[in-house]
Structure 1
Amino acid sequence: MIEGTPGQPYGGTMSEFNTVQDNMRKRRQEAASELKENEAVCTVTSFPRLGCPGFTLPECEPTPVEGGASKSLFFPDEAINKHPRFSTLTRNIRHRRGEKVVINVPIFKDKNTPSPFVETFPKDDGEAAKAAKPDHIYMDAMGFGMGNCCLQVTFQACSISEARCLYDQLATICPIVMALSAAAPFYRGYVSDIDCRWGVISASVDDRTREERGLEPLKNNHYRISKSRYDSIDSYLSECGEKYNDIDLTIDKEIYEHLVKEGIDHLLAQHIAHLFIRDPLTLFEEKIHLDDANESDHFENIQSTNWQTMRFKPPPPNSDIGWRVEFRPMEVQLTDFENSAYVVFVVLLTRVILSYKLDFLIPLSKVDENMKVAQKRDAVRQGMFYFRKDICKGGNAVVDGCGPAQNGKETDAEEYTLMSIDTIINGKDGVFPGLIPILNSYLENMEVDVDTRCTILNYLKLIKKRASGELMTVARWMREFIAKHPDYKQDSVITDEMNYSLIWKCNQIAQEQAECPELLGVGFNKIKHSGNKTGSF
């Protein structure tokens, strides 16, 4: 797995949107230039046969009994990145938890799938038999989650208050965009009943002890902790968000009191104190004794292993980098065009939120419910999500249908309702104006050159048509590809041959060697690389 980032941050002008896809293409080409014959870089969220016998080259045997980092029944230590951080994370999560991690993903029940679906594990010492659930795909190592890929965007705000505002507003968007970008329906060689990676990663790094998970009385640990360290956020940070903080927040009271005493406000103090209920997972010897006034490694050591839907990033000491916010829920897409479309959509959304002072805030418990719905199979077409009805503060009606409540006295319960992704993204008369129409309204009021406007509108068309179901999500497309494969026996099993066919096709689409109109629209592979024509719909 490779992480790619731009060589330098994008600028703030609209014309920068014209460079995103080309930048991604160059990074793909740079990675591909290091490959041997018959190797390819594929931007897939989850490799379908990760953890199956022979999934590595060269083939390696798992070592569940002998000493090793993961002791997995399926995942050999040789498949873990050689940097000591990764094997240390794997080992320490298992040690701290007191047992191997447990990942259970519901299996998709096809016509010939056994019912109940129950696996036996020849090398099991009893731990897997106890942990694996019927009708679920069982996995037991950090690599099953952290071996997945995603698409993340970091924004720099002009001030700490703007960063806090964006953090809160985008937190409500996380489940919506996750469902919209769904691209991970297969795990350990089986067809699952989920479309997104999020819960798999969450379980793969869950280092909470039995006491912290509430399974035993607190004796050796300090806190009951309701979530894995990889999960959705637990508190809003802005004053506007405070009244919607309806989740019980576990905090380190000593750290909270120290921060408040030093002048940090309640909301930020509790956010930091919540991060510090977790233990560090790795620490390198040379990083123990540091000058904390000039180095932030001790903070980042905790911050970087609290993997949440949003991340609030303070400026590093002695740096001109400002307050940043990271948007983390999106699944990676097959092509540079798709990945660029999702990035541009989210970036434009941040600008509209700030320009039009939009308000997406709902109780955080409802955002958590949305996160659960977002991961379900075909949530983009079938799921219903809690979303705020009136998103225009003070009646700033930027588009038709966006304005204050008729009586001006909505109660909290009336502020939000269940909506489909199509309604949220594309709008519905009398119900909700839609995010795409609002973005279009914003673009009409901006001075944008023709090329840039054409590029942005093509991106937004992809998002619009994915939301309406006219174009498939990657997850749905992959499901249909496997369902139609001549070797598929309608038993939820993905063989090596089927896996090869799928990845080959994914690579052809990514390399623009094959059209895929059901995923991308028509004419996508007729891109002129010298310009920015990104396919027509």
Structure 2
Amino acid sequence: MGLLAVGTPLDWPEAKKVADHVREWGIEQLLAIWNRAKGKERDALLWGDEIEYLVVSFDNKKKEVKLSLRQADILEALASDAELLKQGGGVPDLARGEAKSARSAPTFHPEFGRFMLEATPGRPWGIGFKDLLDVEQDMKWRRQIAKDHIFECEYPVTLTTFPMLGDRKSITPFYEPSGPKLRSQFVPDEIANPHIRFPTLAANIRWRRGRKVELNVPVFHDENTPKPWKDPTVNYDLYNWPEDDDVRNGAAKDDYIYMDAMAFGMGSCCLQITFQATNIAEGRKMYDQLSPLGPILLALTAATPIYKGFLADTDVRWNQISAAVDDRTPEELGEKPLKHDRWRIPKSRYASNSTYISQDPRLRPEYLDPDLVVDEKLKARLVEGGMDDILATHFAHLFIRDPIVVFAEDLKELDLDKTDHFENLQSTNWQHMRFKPPPPGNDIGWRVEVRPMEIQITDFENAAFSVFVVLITRAILSFDLNFYLPIPRTTENMETAHKRDAVLNDKFYFRKDPLPRRSARTNGTASPRSGPNTPQPSRPHTPGPVEDEYELMTVDEIINGKRNGGFPGLIPLVESYLDSVNVDVETRCELAQYLALIRGRANGELWTAAKWIRHFVREHPEYQKDSVVTDGMAFDLVKAAERITVHEGRDGFARQMLGRCREG
């Protein structure tokens, strides 16, 4: 998260009045960026990772664990550490490409939840293999620095969600729920970052929507779980705010865990990777080719089987965050005829991608989203300003949304050397990939952000997935790989990734042949090595039906390749890339440990965190096979996550996961 603006936010009725104004100024700022930076060439190939922590507080005597709402105090302690400042720690944002000297101290940033911390390296990583091998130690260092600046009873754990979030006893210090901003019957307003942007964002989403956000996650039905199951934490008699009528009007559904506030989504932790491309064409290509991989990465990193003290029948967080910030009105949702709103919108503003943006000749019209909604007036202005139709369509789609947080001070004059109005819309479209233009006033290039992955329990795992995404990106660019898939299929894949144990039990649409149909060499780079699982490039041919280009595959087939020929597998493609650049043996062995984790997750040898957490709960002596996670179970679970992180290390964690798998 970048620096937070300070100003006077407008409540929704006033913000709505200036929405067109903000959109139009945002488009002008975007065109100014476009004209300044469209020709930027040979920027450094850089990348960065973002790790998010939950800060928990243990009471070992009482066997209790709670979320610590001390984010501001912790950030202040980090910012005032003289030794960290000497090493370059502090405010700069790695994801925006602010390079520092080697061994720069990491930087820490606020997040939506007052119990969250975000940490990035003090400098962006280069593309060299030495940097890949430094990532894990840097992640360990970040966690240690965070631990050194919190209370002895606290710990920065990397769980996606806190298992008891929404239980009145789950936070310290305690605040009453049902405040004026969130109006939640489960969590207080004080659970959100106090910066005015965050409560305004939550309030205006609710205000625009006309009701509270609704998160309904299917409960996991165990042997003793009632059918139908009714969420026992819901108070149907509460009436502090008009929105409390929501539950009486069917917001809380049978057999679903019900949540009603932005904190239940934006209070989740994830692992994100941002790449700086050498130029805009390369950035657009990375955006397109990585997009179909998003659901696969989501399934591989599944880590979210508990909500509000109950086992869920899903494994990942994505749809819950989507619902937590869904500001669509009943008309936009298709629940009422269009009268006041301009169009029906198929997805929340937090959703899977709906556009491709590359000028790649392999991008067929049949791959595009037939239900894409675009602001044609704004698109025409972008095209008039010199932007090509494909990229203009992308941004005109993002700009169908209203700006949610508008500061009065920003409306005084249009400054084309700033990006405040553009970022107002860009940064509140949370898609699983994000294309980021260069900000003015520095040398930062065109960037692509990979957003779907769940945070992992250990630094080894987070490093492994970071390294894997970097390597597959290098393979895509080196071999000119083609992963194009019709966007509706990627949308379906994102839904599939939510299923319990989807990584093992379900199939995903994926392209059959990713290799370029030209020659054995592409742009002077080596092609993937030949082998029994590597299809050979074929001659140019007239494209057939799009449906013939993809098929349903298991995650194992996508990652490790088909055993009887066909799709080569992402890891074999990465290994072919490593062969082509002559990596030394020692480095190759280090990288192999990370690839082994990805391989094991895909073939079932190693469990996802979601499977391990679910198994931990179901084997706990307090568990009554009724889907309920007790306070004691939550304490033991979070303690186990801390213990694994501190003591187990990469080999211990892998052995533990493998052992659990074999026991199962």
Normalised to the residue count of structure 1, the TM-score between the two structures is: 0.94
- Label 1:328 to 1:157 Cα distance change in 2 as closer, same or farther (>3 A): same
Letter paired with 2:307: Y
1:214 aligns with 2:329: no
Structure 1 residue runs without a partner (length 5+): 523-537
1:70 maps onto 2:182 in alignment: yes
Q: Contact 1:235 / 1:247 at 8 angstroms: preserved in 2?
A: no
The CA distance in 2 between the partners of 1:412 and 1:58, in whole Å, is 56
Residue by residue, what CA displacement relative to the aligned partner does 1:117-152 show, whole Å, maximum 9, x if unpaired? 013533434311311111110100000000000000
Shift of 1:23: 1.1
Q: 1:238-273 CA distances to partner (integer Å, 9 max, x unpaired)? A: 133352103321111110111111111111111111
Distance across 1 between alignment mates of 2:569 and 2:413:
49
Which residue of the other structure, out of 128, 131, 136, is the alignment partner of 2:247? 128
- In structure 1, the residue matched to 2:509 is 386
Partner residue, 1:420: 554
Offset, 1:22: 1.2
Match of 1:25 in 2: 140
**Deviation (angstroms), 1:16:** 1.0
Secondary structure of the corresponding residue to residue 119 of structure 1: coil
- Percent pairwise identity: 50
Stretch moving more, 349-358 or 407-416: 407-416
| Contact 2:225–2:627 under 8 Å retained in 1 | yes
Q: Deviations over 1:96-121 (max 9, x none)?
A: 10000011000100000010001353
CA distance in 1, matches of 2:413, 2:145: 36
Deviations 1:66-96 (A, max 9, x none): x511110101112111111111111111001
Question: Could you tell me how far 1:287 is from its partner in structure 2?
Answer: 3.0
Structure 1 Cα separation of the partners of residues 412 and 590 of structure 2: 50
8 Å CA contact retained: 1:391, 1:403: no
2: CA distance, partners of 1:516 / 1:289: 55
- Closer, same or farther in 2 for the Cα pair 1:290/1:341, shift >3 Å? farther
- Partner residue of 2:315 out of 179, 195, 199: 195
Pairing partner for 1:403 from 504, 524, 536: 536
Partner in structure 2 of residue 58 of structure 1: 173
CA deviation after TM superposition for structure 1 residue 408, in Å = 4.9
Deviation at 1:54, TM superposition (A): 0.6
Report the equivalent of 2:268.
148
Q: Distance in 2 between matches of 1:128 and 1:403?
A: 58
Tell whether 2:628 aligns with 1:516: no
Post-superposition CA distance 1:164-185 (Å, at most 9, x none): 1110110000000100010011
Equivalent residue number for residue 453 of structure 1: 588
Query: What letter is aligned with 1:262?
Result: G
Aligned to 2:104: none
- Alignment check: 8 A CA contact 1:113 1:490 kept: yes
Contact 1:210 1:216 in 2 (8 A): yes
Inter-partner Cα distance in structure 2 for 1:484 and 1:363: 42
Structure 1 residue aligned with 2:638: 503
Match of 2:85 in 1: none
1:262 aligns with 2:385: yes
How far apart in 2 are the matches of 1:356 and 1:225? 37
Give the equivalent residue in structure 1 for 2:205: 93
Measure how far apart 1:450 and its partner are: 3.6
Q: Note the alpha carbon deviations across 1:211-261, whole angstroms, 9 max, x for none.
A: 111111111111211100000011111133352103321111110111111
Q: Kindly provide the amino acid, as one letter, of the partner of residue 27 in structure 1.
A: R
Which amino acid in 2 is paired with 1:42? V
User: Corresponding residue for 1:241?
Assistant: 363
> Which residue identity is paired with 1:114?
P
Alpha carbons 1:473, 1:519 under 8 Å: kept: no
Deviation of 1:298 after TM superposition, in Å, equals 1.0
Greater shift, 82-91 or 172-181, is seen at 82-91
Counterpart code for 1:403: Q
| Cα displacement (A) at 1:291 | 4.5
Cα distance in 2 for residues equivalent to 1:195 and 1:304: 26
Quote the RMSD (CA, aligned, Å): 1.7
Shift of 1:394: 1.4
Q: Secondary structure at the match of 2:503?
A: helix
**SS in structure 2 at match of 1:331:** coil
Structure 1 letter corresponding to 2:607? M
The unaligned stretches of length 5 or more in structure 2 are 1-115, 239-243, 521-526, 660-664
1:489 aligns with 2:657: no
The 1:353–1:452 alpha-carbon spacing in structure 2 relative to 1, beyond 3 Å, is same
Aligned to 2:574: 439
Alignment of 1:264-303 (within 5 A): 264-289=387-412, 291-303=414-426
What is the Cα deviation at residue 332 of structure 1?
0.3
Q: Distance in 1 between matches of 2:539 and 2:372?
A: 35
Give the corresponding residue for 2:78: none
Contact 2:513 2:566 in 1 (8 A): no
Which residue type is aligned with residue 13 of structure 1? G
Contact 1:388 1:416 in 2 (8 A): yes
| C-alpha distance in 2 between matches for 1:96 and 1:241 | 36
The alpha-carbon deviation at position 292 of structure 1 amounts to 3.3
Distance in structure 2 (CA, Å) of the matches to 1:521 and 1:493: 26
Whole-Å separation in 2 of the counterparts to 1:19 and 1:158? 22
Query: TM-score, normalised to structure 2's length?
Result: 0.76
2:155 aligned counterpart, secondary structure: coil
Matched residues, number: 519
Preserved contact between residue 4 and residue 27 of structure 1 (Cα < 8 Å)? yes
Q: Give secondary structure in 1 for the equivalent of 2:117.
A: coil
User: Is the partner of 2:257 in helix, strand or coil?
Assistant: strand
Q: 1:391 to 1:519 in 2, by over 3 A?
A: farther
Residue number in structure 2 paired with 1:532: none
Q: Which secondary structure state, in structure 2, belongs to the residue aligned with residue 311 of structure 1?
A: strand
CA distance in 2, matches of 1:247, 1:421: 27
